[in-house]
Amino acid sequence: MPKFSLERTISIKAPAASVFSNVKDFRNWVAWSPWILAEPMCRLEYAEDGRSYSWSGDIIGAGKMEVLDVVENKEIHYRLSFLKPFKSVSSVSFYFDEGSGETNTRWTMSGSLPFFLFWMKRTMVAAISMDYDRGLRMLKDQVELGQVPSTLKFAGFETVEGFEYVGLSRDCKLSEISDRMGADMQQAASILSALGIEMEGPPVCFYERFDMSEGTTRYRIALPVAAGTPCPEGLEKGTLGEIKAYAIHHTGAYRHLGNAWAAGMMHQRSKVFAGSKESPPFEVYRNDPCAVGEEELLSTVYFPAK
């Protein structure tokens, strides 16, 4: 049985007791779980003593989590049992270390994969690590802000009209994507502005390659322009033809856009839609982050579909 282990951490500006209480009560997990958001209507059942809960859904599978041991405001240890899509048992823990006005929050998992899944160990560890990162970011906001500025709307299939665009591409680590993409977007927009070229629609970002196990991606910033617009020096030009895509609308901070991507990939694995290689998946930024608060930012993630 191939064994695995992983851990992720985040610093939360709050006393350990506050973070601990949000994690200890399973009913609070709905607000920051990185999985339930993909299937909000899944069945959740809680034990009367509060020491366990179970879930069952068509997209997120089925399982149960039980509290094994608690050190008040310090540690919580669980047994995590998956029933679907395959059976397995893992050990999960949270550790809370308070100091200097913050609580360092560590989330761990260790266990074994069924022998027939040995080949996907590296990818699975990378995927769960990313889920943990998303969950910890949401937990941080829930504790610090009192809410998570991230909601999803599963719009289903939409037809995306074709357009011409100019932009630029970059290979980078996923950990660097926020800073790199922001700089690239500003650079491309500045070149258009200096030439007096107006955008013909909201900015877009295509993800041409995405490697979870390596933690890298290749993206293409795309700024829609009028047909026939010459390509400015320093930028690339391209065209997206009309396509059918599965759409997920995200409202909230860009740091939580990964929720839409993760939910879409879970929906695809569950055969809610069949993906197409006609175009790479992409996200569209529908309003200006300089004009609205982060909780009002509107973005759409499109997964090209057959």
Residue 9's CATH number? 3.30.530.20
User: Is 134's pLDDT higher than 90?
Assistant: yes
- pLDDT at position 214 is 84
Q: Is residue 290 part of a domain?
A: yes
Packing angle, helices 121-145 and 16-24, rounded to 10: 120
Q: Is residue 90 part of a domain?
A: yes
CA separation for the pair 195, 232 (Å, rounded): 8
| Percentage above 70 pLDDT, the chain | 97
Q: Is residue 145 part of a domain?
A: no
Query: Are residues 79 and 118 located together in one domain of the fold?
Result: yes
Q: How many domains does the chain have?
A: 2
On average, the pLDDT of the chain sits at 94
**Listed range (129-138, 149-158, 208-217) with the worst mean pLDDT:** 208-217
Q: Is residue 259 part of a domain?
A: yes
Q: Give per-residue pLDDT as tens, 41-61.
A: 999 999 988 899 999 999 999
- Which amino acid is it at 188? A
Residue 255's CATH number? 3.20.80.10
Instruction: Give the residue numbers spanning the domain of 9.
Output: 3-135
CA of 21: how far to CAs of 14, 26, 73, 240, in Å? 11, 10, 8, 48
SS3 of 249-263: the string is EEEECHHHCHHHHHH
Q: Give per-residue pLDDT as tens, 260-283.
A: 999 999 999 999 999 999 899 999
Query: Are residues 125 and 159 located together in one domain of the fold?
Result: no
Q: Is residue 118 part of a domain?
A: yes
pLDDT average, residue stretch 207-219: 89
Q: Specify the residue for token string 């608690």.
A: 70
Packing angle, helices 121-145 and 258-269, rounded to 10: 140
Query: Are residues 292 and 162 located together in one domain of the fold?
Result: yes
Q: Rounding to the nearest 10 degrees, give the CA dihedral for residues 48, 49, 50, 52.
A: -90
84 contacts 66 by C-beta, under 8 angstroms: no
C-alpha 199, offset from chain centre: 28
Give this prediction's pTM.
Answer: 0.94
Q: Among candidates 112, 62, 73, which has minimal Cα distance to 96?
A: 73
Q: Is residue 209 part of a domain?
A: yes
C-alpha 175, offset from chain centre: 13
Query: Are residues 246 and 131 located together in one domain of the fold?
Result: no
Query: Are residues 184 and 299 located together in one domain of the fold?
Result: yes
User: Is 178's pLDDT higher than 80?
Assistant: yes
Both tokens of residue 222?
Answer: 């795309």
Query: Are residues 290 and 224 located together in one domain of the fold?
Result: yes
Query: Are residues 179 and 232 located together in one domain of the fold?
Result: yes
